[in-house]
Amino acid sequence: MKKIINDPNRVVSDMLRGIAAVNPKVEYFPEAEVIASKEKREKVGVISGGGSGHEPAFGGYIGRGMLSAAVAGNVFASPSPDRIIKGIEEANGGKGVLAVIMNYSGDLMNFDMAKEMAEMEGIDVEIVVVKDDVAVPDREDATGRRGIAGTLLVHKVAGAKAEAGGTLAEVAAVAQKAIDRVRTMGMSMSSCTIPAVGKPGFALGDDEIEIGMGIHGEPGIERTGVKSAKELAAILIEKITADYDYSGSEVAVMVNGLGATPLMELYILAGEAEAVLKEKGIRPWRWFVGNYMTSLEMAGCSITLLKLDDELKELIDAPCEAPAFRV
């Protein structure tokens, strides 16, 4: 295993310490593995979190116009309720806190417990759950559709609404509107290595890719031969548009890398995606291309579409000072 680390069992702590070292606007709370904004103002706080290994999610999205705090679990593992309650406390500006989480059983259970604990302290908390991965059938519980890269667009609109002075109910409502309108489909070309494990979690042949693989290495819907960028754009967008009607709509488009895919390839894919969307009568209004929701050093990508209206356009376009998400 070749990684730039110290102790495989301390990678999360060392990473968070590094984030705080280079960003003077945030504070690291090592006892809870929480990164929070130093700026404390009277507004709705927006937090997120989950397993580490998806950087820059979630610590890179703290800043005016996006998240107030982020809670880190161990690599690919949910943070515990005691960590989450610290994140809620640090995000609380007196107007309540919205937690934007992804649809995984550990996150659902632990954030729900932390919500109850926070409300005993007199902090109003709402939770919204992102499940944008169309590779998985939609169900009402955590055995269904996973949350992946579309989560970042939900962070963006929720953070912008909070920054504009929205109430907790208003921030939660616009976050839910984005959740209802966002869909993602991804693919993988390689595995990744969890530092504490020291070896890849699965194997793909030199001529194999997996369509629909999850960001923790969960099985996809098909293993197939290597595809061109043009073919991949068509496959991923067809799966998205089969699940939700984007025809005639303006959309925000995210072309996301999983950690090891060069930007050159992501921009090639974006160009092909633009052609596919145009063919389908879907109008890209804003593009985001880069590594937003990764899976350690996995090679692969995902495409996300968010159907926009005037409110969501304004919130997506609002200023944002998060280091990893510039508008």
Task: List, in sequence order, every beta strand (DSSP E) within the chain.
Answer: 26-29, 34-37, 45-52, 69-75, 97-102, 125-130, 182-188, 208-211, 222-225, 250-257, 283-290, 300-307
d(CA 292, CA 177): 21
User: Active-site residue among 86, 155, 216, 307?
Assistant: 216
Question: Per the structure block, which two tokens stand in for 2?
Answer: 């070749």
Say which DSSP state 261 is in. S
d(CA 289, CA 149): 12
Question: Per the structure block, which two tokens stand in for 57?
Answer: 């999610």
Residue 216 falls in the annotated catalytic set: yes
Q: Is the CB of residue 254 less than 8 Å from the CB of residue 321?
A: no
d(CA 127, CA 98): 6
Alpha-carbon dihedral of residues 40, 154, 71, 148, nearest 10 degrees? -170
Residue 155 falls in the annotated catalytic set: no
User: Active-site residue among 11, 15, 54, 240?
Assistant: 54
Helix axes of 310-317 and 168-181: crossing angle, nearest 10 degrees: 100
- Are β-strands 97-102 and 45-52 bridged in parallel, bridged antiparallel, or unpaired? parallel
Task: Give one DSSP letter per residue of 165-177, joined into a string.
Answer: T--HHHHHHHHHH
Point out the residues that are catalytic. Answer: 54, 216
